[in-house]
Amino acid sequence: MNKVISDAKTVGLVLSGGGIRGMAHIGLLKAMEEKGVQVQVVSGSSVGALVGALYANGNSIDEMLQFFKETPLFKYDFFAINKPGFIDTERYFKIFKGYFPEDAFEALRIPLFVVATDLLKGEEKVFSNGKLIRPLLASAALPPVFSPIEIEKTLYADGGVMNNFPKEYVDDKADFIIGSNVSIADEIDKRAIRNSILLAGRVTGLMIYASSHRKLLECDISIEPKELEGIGVLDKKGIEKAFKIGYEHGSRALELTSVSN
């Protein structure tokens, strides 16, 4: 028998990585807001960590979208010098400080678990207390585009490399879990893997998708919009489209269970 969200004492939210496609997470949040769904704990990787942090911070839907629309992806004076990666991720610190002035997990309204990849040990690292901004930057530092972030003498990069759907961190903290996976690996044409680079990207994408999809199926409510496949991971022109897709899928998913207002 399916669980009913209105019976839940604690609701957990898990948000995957996936670049601009992560705007679908915000669409889901809008649908949840309209249905009166309140979350008590959040975990996320990469863009999922960023959206989760904004949500846990109490930012509105419009403020979340504004954050991603106004934060530059490729800016001339952000290019990395003497660092691995094309863009210096450290240059985003000031922008993040504008949204998270206290720079602390403890300042958030609800608990947040942020996953990053320890590049030196080759394992995932979860952050949930202390300084907030550097773990967020690390979690979203997609290699090789963005440079790794150093935290306590260790280099960290995109959390999606090791765990793109960190459901484990809310399993024992919520009796009802909502999941959103935007790392889609739909069927493609053979021309899409016509060279070694595209082949490597496809294989990596399939591995990430397989792990995320398996855990997504364990959630009580979940969305995984296939329509996101047509939106580039770093294509800011897709922000509104991804948001709309997430809202539509979120609204339909929530309609399938009773929700208390």
Report the catalytic residues. 46, 158
Amino acid at site 64: M
Whole-number Å distance between alpha carbons of 126 and 167: 12
Whole-number Å distance between alpha carbons of 116 and 53: 14
Structure tokens at 254: 């929530």
Find the helix or strand (DSSP H, E) in which 154 lies.
strand 154-157
Amino acid at site 132: L
**At 183, is the secondary structure helix, strand, or coil?**
coil
Structure tokens at 54: 């904004």
Q: β-strand 154-157 against 112-118: which pairing, if any?
A: antiparallel
Q: Which residues pair with 45 in a beta bridge?
A: 115
Structure tokens at 16: 């995957």
Phi-psi region of 200 (alpha: psi -120 to 50; beta: other; left: phi over 0): alpha
Structure tokens at 59: 């930012």
Helices (H), ranges, the chain = 23-34, 47-56, 61-70, 93-99, 133-139, 168-171, 196-216, 239-255
